[in-house]
Amino acid sequence: MAKKSELAEFVCANGFCPPIWMVQTLKQTAGRKDPVFSVALERENGYVTRYDLPIPAGMERELLVKILTERIVKFLLWSSGGWRILLSGPAALCRNIKKQYTLKGARHFDADFMQTVYGRKLVVEIVEPKALPKGTERQLRIENRTDGCRIGFDLGASDFKISAVKKGKVLFSGEFPWDPRNQKDPNYHFEKLNEGLKQAAAKLPRVDAIGGSTAGVVVDNRIRVASLFRAIPKARYAEAQNIFQRIQETWQVPVEVANDGDVTALAGQMSLGCKGILGVAMGSSEAVGYIDQNGCLTGRLSELAFAPVDLNPAAPTDEWSGDAGVGAMYFSQQAVNHLALAYGMKFPKAMPLPERLKVVQEKMAAGDETALKIFLKIGLYLGYTVPWYREFYDFDNLMILGRVTSGLGGLVILNNAKLILEDLFPEIAEQVNVFMPDEKARRVGQSVAAASIPELK
């Protein structure tokens, strides 16, 4: 077994240990007859996400390999979601993961969260390779969904936006203030949203479909976990989760809702005319959405704020999950704050993270070297993470956006990420377009994009 000193040697000089290096090393070293570590995650309606990694014989007991394979499972769990984890391959690796992913194990936060999302206990099974299912993803095709009279909504924490769209033309857009996080009665959420829908419907000759974008974890057209419902008592939480079913019963038209990350990627597709998009929004946390190469939504969780991007055991720790090296600490306001403090910047203790980000961005605009180092570092993180994300998502376009990418700092992030790719991952640099949306890409709003999601019957 590898010693801790060997792990330290693997960590890059800058303290960042990107897992893609080790994945590539294992793939290049393994022979045809070497064992394969395989994992398949099953989620709602029998959808399965699968990943296979060859392990050179004798390396299954190496500490680095144990760490990497556990991180792969964690990444898959938060990128795809699942209530059942099937493992096959070297026994030592599989047993290590099964031990950790229980309510009493090291990954108890993950097990408990997924149990909340899917309403059933997270199950981990070790099976023979032949018993491992193939991947089967949901594909909700979005192309050519400008037909008919549609309403789209986008639910936020302080307001929600609604648009009325007729044959692709926006006839009405409005913002409606609300306070969902402090309301204990789920009828409040339904009634407020329904009031907005009525105003949009008044601008249309009829309503053929309703599509939505919302913060939170959406599974099978239900919000499973969201801060929008945080004040609702547990005994009434199911009522809140069924808000979109109530909307469908009330309006008697198809209703389809996706998380806001996916709808951001969808808006990018509609504006730019391209498919295979991974959208990464760097805001208060990291929010991610995905449109596959067929132009379809897949229903994957894509909660990459909790997905690992760094193997360094001394990596910064996410306060909510208690885990180190996850995306929220590298691609968000939290990342800016962590790096600013590490580089010696001082802030008043009571200053919130959005204000700290603003201070760093102002320093960046003024030519401050420390601020430049912060955005260069985030760009470095992104450059190494693009090929890591591509291990689990099939995309040719990676769109970065969000408050952290505003101003000169966003350009520094983008350009440094591209330099890393061109220097160290030239093949991926040729295949993947990493970009920030311009005004053309921004013109399709979330609510307008959401209107195109449902398929007319």
Cα 192 from Cα 189, distance rounded (Å): 5
Mean pLDDT of the chain: 91
Region of poorest pLDDT, from 71-75, 185-189, 230-234, 394-398? 230-234
Give the CATH fold of the 273-442 domain: Nucleotidyltransferase; domain 5 (3.30.420)
Cα 429 from Cα 435, distance rounded (Å): 12
Region of poorest pLDDT, from 122-131, 234-243, 434-443? 434-443
pLDDT band for position 14 (50/70/90)?
low
Chain mean position to CA 206: 35
Residue % of the chain over a pLDDT of 70: 95
Question: When comparing pLDDT for 313 and 45, which is higher?
Answer: 45
Cα 263 from Cα 447, distance rounded (Å): 9
Predicted local distance difference test score (pLDDT) of residue 369: 97
Q: Same topology for domains 140-265+445-451 and 273-442, yes or no?
A: yes
- How many CB atoms neighbour CB 397 within 10 A? 19
Predicted local distance difference test score (pLDDT) of residue 216: 83
pLDDT tens across 333-350, in order? 999 999 999 999 999 999
pLDDT tens across 249-263, in order? 999 999 999 988 888
Predicted local distance difference test score (pLDDT) of residue 447: 87
Could you name the CATH architecture of 140-265+445-451? Answer: 2-Layer Sandwich (3.30)
CB-based contacts of 341, cutoff 8 Å, min separation 6: 347
pLDDT tens across 169-202, in order? 999 999 999 999 899 999 999 999 999 999 999 9
Judging by beta carbons within 10 Å of its beta carbon (0-12, 13-18, 19+), is residue 310 exposed, middle or buried? buried
Per-domain residue ranges for the chain? 4-131, 140-265+445-451, 273-442
pLDDT tens across 111-128, in order? 999 999 998 999 999 999
Residue bearing tokens 């994957």: 300
DSSP strand pairing (36-42 vs 159-166) = unpaired
CA atoms within 13 A on the CB side of 454: 26
Q: Which residue type does 50 have? A: R
Residue % of the chain over a pLDDT of 90: 73
Residue 441 has pLDDT above 60, yes or no: no
pTM: 0.87
For residue 105, give the nearest of 332, 322, 350 by alpha carbon.
Answer: 322
Predicted local distance difference test score (pLDDT) of residue 152: 95
Predicted local distance difference test score (pLDDT) of residue 306: 95
Residue 10 has pLDDT above 50, yes or no: no
CB-based contacts of 425, cutoff 8 Å, min separation 6: 383, 386, 387
